[in-house]
Amino acid sequence: MTRPHHPIDSTDTLYLGAPDVARIVARKGLAACIAGVAERIHADFLRWNEFDKTPRVANHSADGVIELMPVSDASWYSFKYVNGHPKNTQRGVSTVMAFGVLADVATGAPRLLAELTLPTAIRTAAMSALAARTLARQNSRVMALVGNGAQAEFQAIAFRDLVGIRTLRAYDVDTGATEKLVRNLQGRGLDVIVCASTAEAVLGADIVTTITADKQRATIITPEMVEPGMHFNGVGGDCPGKTELHAGVLRASSVFVEYEPQTRIEGDLQQMPADFEVTELWRVLAGQAAGRTSEAQVTVFDSVGFAIEDYSALHFLHDAARELGIGDFIRLVPQMTDPKDLFATIAASSDIQRAPARSSIATISA
């Protein structure tokens, strides 16, 4: 499946399917991928104003949502396709599936098409840890992890490596999910304590990560669970009608977001009035705004996932694929001898039939 890579003047597209991406992550190591993507997100967030940004476009249905997340700078355009269907797991399908494209802004040619389900878990964990490194107390060692589904291990490893978390207090309404988490994290330098409720998991935690999937107004975290100095990493409240934190938690906290116009629609922030104050995280990273200002302050990162994070992840994959020689070039769009002669691409096809099929014309003319 693998061919040598080379500079391309053509409109061919490098394709990384799910097996290719899993191989890249296995070869580089998950921890290295999380760290590498975090580094790229950090660098890209520092040049925030160079990006042409827009809230993602969502098509909602009874059981889920399908979203497109475009973003561009002067050189590269990227978009991600991603769904969210909490009931999928009942039929053996993932709640979240994603793929994305990197394209050349100068010509519009798609340069990379890649599966992004696994990279979405990686970039979300990288983003969460990057925010917590800036917002949580310096000596944070214990994290509550509420929601132990597909993305839980990624969060655990990101917080272990980038924040210094050593103890996880895990809870999920599905005990099977927690068992899976415990199994997957064995021998990875984390103490995992299985808890019987969210309240128990949160007890004494420095950081609380909520990453649940229900598409409904949920209240996973209530005000009485909040302790001074806690940092909340709210990942699962990421869709209109889908929340995890009680409004009282937000009111008692300093709230940080990725891209304010999108988080106002999708985040836990959707519960709050339009003038409720928030800070975009890039400003903290760039030294333009304060992050945590006291040990007792409660901070919330109201994460919904923003297109720049996928842009960063796609670039990471692009470089890794070329470094490791993984992937195939595909002809996703035509390669034309004369760019004004699209018509000729039909005749150039192997088995042309020049006469129009009269029967079909009759059908439409009728």
**Is the Cβ of residue 185 or residue 225 nearer to its own copies in the bound state?**
185
Contact between 268 and 212 under an 8 Å Cβ cutoff? The reply is no
Closer CB to its own copies, residue 224 or residue 323? 323
Question: Residue 300's closest CA among 363, 253, 362, 252?
Answer: 253
Beta strand segments in 222-357, E: 231-234, 243-245, 254-257, 279-280, 299-302, 328-330
**Least separation, in Å, of the C-beta of 14 and its own copies?**
13
Integer Cα distance of 74 and 8 in angstroms = 20
**Choice between 108 and 204, CB closer to its own copies:** 108
- Judge whether 98 and 16 are in contact, CB under 8 Å: no
Helices (DSSP H) in 18-105: which residue ranges? 18-28, 30-46
CB of 212 to its own copies, least distance (A): 12
Q: What is the C-alpha to C-alpha distance for residues 159 and 126, in angstroms, rounded to an integer?
A: 8
Q: What's the closest the beta carbon of residue 169 comes to its own copies, in angstroms?
A: 19
Shortest approach of its own copies to residue 46 CB, angstroms?
Answer: 14
Of the listed 20, 44, 238, 268, which one is catalytic? Answer: 238
Q: Which is nearer to its own copies, 65 or 300 (CB)?
A: 65
**Contacts for 93 with CB less than 8 Å, ≥ 6 apart:** 85
Active site annotation includes 172: no
d(CA 257, CA 226): 19
The catalytic residues are 238
